[in-house]
Every structure is written in C-alpha cells, then in structure tokens.
A = this chain, B = another copy of it.
Amino acid sequence: MLQRGCVVLYPCTQMKIAIQGELGAFSHEACRRNFPRAKVVPCAVSSEVFEALESGRVDAALIPIENTLAGPVVVHYDLLLEHDFYVNAEFRLRIEHQLLAVPGTKFGEIREVLSHPVALDQCRKFFAKNKKVRSVSFYDTAGAARHVMEEGKHEQAAIASRVAGEVYGAEVLQSNLEDDAQNFTRFVLVERRARANKDANKVSVAVGLPNKPGMLFKALSVFALREIDLTKIESRPVRGRPWEYAFFLDFMQTDKKAAENALRHLEEIAQFVKVLGRYRSAE
C-alpha cells in the first residue's frame, strides 16, 4: 500500500527513520507499509525523536499526528512548532488491533489481556462479550506484546499491532478487535528540509492569535472569503506564553495563487504564521 506521494519523493533508498515507541508500535507498522526498506530507529519519548532528527542521527521522523478516535497527538504539534523542520508527506494507517498470545495458547485459557489504555478502550465490545477476560493497562501496545512473550503464560494475551506479533514471535489469536472500523491514524513524515513536491495539494500552518474575542473568526475569514477548504483546526496553548494560543490549520490548496493570498492576508491578522509543510494529501 505505497502512497502516491511517497513513490515520487522517496525512491527505494534506505532512509533512517525515527519513531516514538518500541519496535512493533503502530508507527513501526506505518513505516513498514510506506518505507519498506527504511531502517527504523525507535525512541522512548517524542522529544528524543526530534533530537535524533536535529542531530542528523536519522534522515526523517515518522510521527502520528492525529487518530480519528483518540484525537490529536498534541505533543507532536508542540514539537513541530518548536523546531524548524518540514512536513513533507502524510500517510493514513488503519489501526487494527490483534489479540496476540504465546504460540499454542487456546482462547479459553486467557484470563487477562494487556494493552495501552487507549487500545483497551477501543476494544470495549470484545471485553463486553468475554466477561472472563480482564483488561489490564500497560504503558505501550508493543511493550504489552513483548511482556506477554517474556512471561510465556497461556493466561495472558496482549492487544497490539500485527507487526508487534511478528517482532516478538507471538501468535495472532483473533484479528480486528477494534469496535470501530473507522479507526485511522494520520502520520506525517518530518525532515530537516522542505522537498519541492509538485503534487502538493495540502498545506499545514501554525498561526499565533491573541486571545481576544473574534480573532479566530477573523483568521478563518481569509479562507472562507476564498472558498478554501479547511480540513483541520487544532488549538494549543503556547508553551511559556500563558493565554496565547497557537492554531494548527490544514487546508486544501486547489488554487496555488489563492492559497498564497490567504497566507499573506493571514499574516496581517496573526501574531505569527509558520508554514509547517506543503504535501500531497493522503485522503
């Protein structure tokens, strides 16, 4: 499932790509699908991912920015604002939760299922149907799969990605435990330099607005007046500047001239406008 933008921009080079989380995390799965030959560099926390990119230890970072059910990954918005990097591509991954266990485990033996609280919450129907199975919170989906394999008990299973099963040698006992098939995560590829992408049809910007009545209305007028489609709006308090807000906006660039005019108009209204990237929409 190679994405269009990816094929054009990233021929089969062996890039080093940093992800947040352990091997087997959903970011790893997103990497595998879109950059099958890349070397994945796992980082414990998000700030490490950005440090790895800053230092040149990796060529790029692939980070989740938004999940349709769990919402925005706000730490990544903040880090994109702090650093002068560029979003050069976006990808969507359908989140499919697998029930992973020690090979040979029978379903009836399982008494507890470990996973990240967000993943557990996305599989409510599974737990409602299987009353004998207790859900146990774990810090990480992939970490839960690794833990189950290390313990080697048939009473334990994990909810994690298919890749986590492969990485740690667990067996998939049941597939697609998620309640909602509309469970997608949007990932963005971040690099130190902007790539000139002729196919770009989407723009991500961060906008600083003073906390006064009507300011957001004014800011949105620059798009509405030009019939530009806003696909995303996210507000974030700016770190260290209390009561000042940054808005993260994604909009479709069907007419390049209109998009440029809108951004110029926005600069008249906003405290700052920072273009985070121009890239091909994954939708």
Find out whether the CB atom of B213 lies under 8 angstroms from the CB atom of A229.
yes
B-contacting residues, A50-103, CB 8 Å:
68-72, 74-75, 78
**Complex-state Cα separation, A135 to B44, whole angstroms:** 9
Tell yes or no: A224 within 8 A of B by CB: yes
**Complex-state Cα separation, A240 to B182, whole angstroms:** 7
Tell yes or no: A230 within 8 A of B by CB: yes
Chain B, residue nearest A237 (CB) = B68
For the residues of A in contact with B, the DSSP-based class is mixed
- Give a binary string over A189-225; 1 marks a CB under 8 Å from any B CB, 0 the rest: 0000000000000000000000001101110110110
B residues less than 8 Å from A139 (CB atoms):
116-117, 137-139
Find out whether the CB atom of A227 lies under 8 angstroms from the CB atom of B213.
yes
For A239, give its contact among B69, B72, B140, B235 (CB under 8 Å): B69
- Give a binary string over A130-169; 1 marks a CB under 8 Å from any B CB, 0 the rest: 0000010111100100000000000000000000000000
Known contacts A71-B72, A74-B71, A217-B221; A232 and B230 CB within 8 A of each other: no
Find out whether the CB atom of A137 lies under 8 angstroms from the CB atom of B140.
yes
A129 to chain B, nearest CB (A): 15
Find out whether the CB atom of B228 lies under 8 angstroms from the CB atom of A220.
no
Copies of this chain present in the complex amount to 2
Find out whether the CB atom of B213 lies under 8 angstroms from the CB atom of A233.
no
Find out whether the CB atom of A233 lies under 8 angstroms from the CB atom of B230.
no
Find out whether the CB atom of B182 lies under 8 angstroms from the CB atom of A242.
yes
B residues less than 8 Å from A120 (CB atoms):
45
Interface size on A, residues (CB 8 A): 47
Tell yes or no: A46 within 8 A of B by CB: yes
B residues less than 8 Å from A220 (CB atoms):
216-217, 220
B residues less than 8 Å from A70 (CB atoms):
74-75
Find out whether the CB atom of B217 lies under 8 angstroms from the CB atom of A121.
no
B residues less than 8 Å from A242 (CB atoms):
182
B residues less than 8 Å from A78 (CB atoms):
69
Chain B, residue nearest A121 (CB) = B45
Tell yes or no: A180 within 8 A of B by CB: yes
**9 further interface pairs, Cβ-Cβ under 8 Å (given A44-B137, A137-B143, A216-B230):** A45-B117, A117-B139, A138-B139, A182-B242, A213-B223, A213-B230, A217-B220, A217-B224, A233-B235
Q: Give chain A's interface residues, CB within 8 Å of chain B.
A: 44-47, 68-72, 74-75, 78, 116-117, 120-121, 124, 135, 137-140, 143, 180, 182, 213-214, 216-218, 220-221, 223-224, 227-230, 232-237, 239-240, 242
Q: List 11 A-B residue pairs with CB atoms under 8 Å apart, sorted by A's residue number.
A: A45-B120, A45-B121, A47-B121, A71-B71, A72-B72, A137-B139, A138-B139, A213-B223, A213-B228, A216-B220, A233-B235
